[in-house]
Structure 1
Amino acid sequence: MTIRSGPVTVRVPATSANLGPGFDALGLALDLYDELTVEATESGLHIDVIGEGAGEVPLDDSHLVVRSMNLAFDLLGERPGGLWLTCRNVIPHGRGLGSSAAAIVSGIVAARALARGEDRLDDAALFQLATDIEGHPDNVAPALFGGLTISWVDGAAAAVQRLDVQVPVTVFVPPTPVSTQEARGLLPDSVPHGDAVFNAGRAALLVAALTQAPERLISATEDRLHQGYRSTAMPESYRLVRALRVDGVPAVISGAGPTVLAFARGIDAALPDGWALHHLDVDARGATVHP
């Protein structure tokens, strides 16, 4: 057994997927973090949840962090007799800021660290496992690697291209969540060819805008594939996006929503009553381990 004695702490950033036109492909890591501290024990399972999800998420082996850890332990070929976990959650749940991706990534990264398994489970294997658990790579990619990520699946193999970007971000977080499953259920089975062409061009432009041409962000964040279809599930968010864009602010629905993300500062006055606001920067490191 190579299980490490003593605690391991993993810090994972919030993420925003899609960014407007980059549906299921683009993701951005943000400097808002969940932190997981885990220690191997002889037996049993103890979970403390502090912050987001406290009193709501399960405290048994169905907890997403624990499920992810156990899948990683299976690949590593060993697992401890028991676990003691403390989850300090800051990323809002059900708001389109990658809380499930953060839980998955923190679990598999912590399992590798506990098992001293870097030589048995490299970053590519971690990314593949995280994608398999989440079902798509757009949030787990920036959660693992930081920065701006373009992710896709070749056959069954998850792939990613990471880019460094620095852009100011303001997020408006509504008080009521929307489930990803509900938001995806509103999408049509097919879209007009013209809309697909439009989004392909805007997604390509968005990569250029985020890396070298920020003056193009208002055009680059236009979308015809998903935001309009989901507007009935988050009407207030959609109204805020439209109002900001009328004022020339590049604003989008973050992930499956209902959080609104804007590539701008100085727009605090647009905050609806009862919503939370965060001024964020791009996280460049992704998941980090602190023994």
Structure 2
Amino acid sequence: MTHPTPAGEPVEAPVAARTVHVKVPATTANLGPGFDTLGLALALYDELEASIIDAGLEIEVHGVGEGEVPLDEQHLVVRSIAHTFARFGYRMPPLRLVARNAIPHGRGLGSSGAAIVAGVMIGKGLLEGIAEIGPDELLEIATELEGHPDNVAPSLFGGLTIAWTTPDGPRHKKLIVHRGVSPLVLVPEHVMSTALARSLQPESVPHEDAVFNVSRSALLVAALTQSPELLLQATEDKLHQSYRAQAMPETDRVIAGLRAAGYPAVVSGAGPSVLVLASDPKQRLDAAALVEETSESAWQALPLAVDFKGATVTGTDDGPAAA
């Protein structure tokens, strides 16, 4: 692992005139009982291009967030690029950033985590040959910005990830999801604040509820990797969803209706989207049809594959390195 440059005034990075392309998947965290630990990458992507320019900062946003997100140094991707450069003692170079976003904002699909991962991966691509950033350090930098590794780990590495923290920093284990698992995400029109969702959590929970979630989390790993037929029982939760239900009554009603009909439905991340971990494509279609028939509000049904690659970065040099 490359160690950051000692603290001090950042200096200009000797980067080449380079363009990098980054593709980052959406994520769904918690998956029911795996609160702040389990995450899954989904085949829904933000795609970005960053080019070094002579001076200034230029930002274009297309798709989700267009006309809403800041177009200056406060843009989350830009902040993440700057943080990555600063970690190695460099100033972020003048950039042109073009983002084409498909991940919904404020819906529990990891849009902020994806923006952070995009920035870190752009930093990695632009710093190639200057600072080599390995997987553990990518996760560490992204977690510094996100606060929790469970969203950024699957976005970085793909698949099903178990994330945890150690005195030496965050760690992860990537697992391959059983080919029978067919995710469905139901996205409402309204948004949900992650901070609000977290504020509804109690400081402590009953011992039996903690034990319940430990057993279901272990079972969920087995269900997702080996035995999809166990997903309904494996997605039971007593740690966070019931406490957040008051802030998401429509989400709670949809989940209750789906589970009563035998579908493994949970809150996606902090909500308000609903994740159904169907055991086959037909079950996924049936679940979407049930919600369309029974819900009073509109839900966009997104049948998504599991992303197995995670974030990718490719780059091309456009000229000689800066002096």
TM-score normalised to the size of structure 2? 0.87
In the alignment, is residue 224 of structure 1 matched against residue 216 of structure 2? no
CA contact (8 A) 2:82 2:92 kept: no
Residue correspondence of structure 1 range 127-166 to structure 2 within 5 A: 127-155=139-167, 157-165=169-177, 166=179
Q: Is the 8 Å Cα contact of residues 41 and 80 (structure 1) preserved in structure 2?
A: no
2:186 aligned to which of 167, 172, 175: 172
Counterpart AA for 2:30 = N
Alpha-carbon deviations, 1:149-169, whole Å to 9, x = none? 000101251010110113211
Distance 2:133 2:108 in 1: 29
Q: Which moved more, 1:23-32 or 1:71-80?
A: 71-80
Conservation of the 8 A alpha-carbon contact between 1:101 and 1:140: yes
Secondary structure of the 1:202 match is helix
CA distance in 1, matches of 2:221, 2:129: 34
Distance 1:290 1:278 in 2: 28
1:256 paired residue among 270, 277, 284? 270
Partner in structure 1 of residue 321 of structure 2: none
Is 1:186 the counterpart of 2:206? The answer is no
Q: What is residue 200 of structure 1 aligned with on the other side?
A: 214
Work out whether 1:247 is the aligned partner of 2:261. yes
AA partner of residue 17 (structure 2): S
The alpha-carbon deviation at position 80 of structure 1 amounts to 4.9
How far, CA to CA, are the matches of 2:141 and 2:154 in structure 1?
14
Report what 1:126 is aligned to.
138
Residue 268 of structure 1 is matched in structure 2 by: 288
Pair 1:194–1:103, CA change in 2 (3 A): same
Aligned counterparts of 1:25 and 1:117: Cα–Cα separation in 2: 33
Distance in 2 between residues matched to 1:102 and 1:187, nearest whole Å: 24
Q: 2:102 — aligned with what?
A: 90
% identity of equivalent residues: 54
C-alpha deviation, 1:290, in angstroms:
2.9
1:5 shift after superposition: 2.2
Distance 2:210 2:168 in 1: 23
1:44–1:83 contact (8 Å) kept in structure 2: yes
Do the aligned residues in 2 keep the contact of 1:96 with 1:255 (CA within 8 Å)? yes
Q: Distance in 2 between matches of 1:136 and 1:117?
A: 29
| Distance in structure 1 (CA, Å) of the matches to 2:254 and 2:94 | 47
Which segments of 5 or more consecutive residues in structure 2 lack a partner in the other structure?
A: 1-12, 279-283, 316-323
Bigger-Rg structure (1/2): 2
Structure 2: distance between partners of 1:52 and 1:290: 23
Alignment partners' CA distance in 1, 2:90 and 2:198: 36
Cα drift, residue 114 of structure 1? 1.1
Work out which of the residue numbers 77, 100, 104 in structure 2 matches 1:65.
77
- How far apart are residue 286 of structure 1 and its match? 0.2
Residue 216 of structure 2 contacts residue 233 of structure 2 at CA under 8 Å; is this kept in 1?
yes
Q: TM-score, normalised by structure 1?
A: 0.97
> What is the SS of the residue equivalent to 2:241?
coil
Residue 209 in 1 paired to residue 219 in 2?
no
Aligned partner (choices 86, 102, 111) of residue 123 of structure 2: 111
Matches of residues 18-57 of structure 1 in structure 2 within 5 Å? 18-57=30-69
Please say if 1:16 is aligned against 2:28.
yes
Runs of 4+ off more than 6 Å: none
1:289 aligns with 2:297: no
The whole-number CA distance in structure 2 between the counterparts of 1:189 and 1:171 is 29
Give the count of matched residue pairs: 291
Q: Distance in 2 between matches of 1:4 and 1:257?
A: 41
Point out where structure 1 has 5 or more consecutive residues left out of the alignment: none
Shift of 1:278: 0.5
Distance 1:70 1:113 in 2: 13
The corresponding residue for 1:280 is 304
SS in 2 for 1:14: strand
The offset of 1:54, in angstroms, is: 1.2
Aligned equivalents of 2:227, 2:76: Cα separation in 1:
39
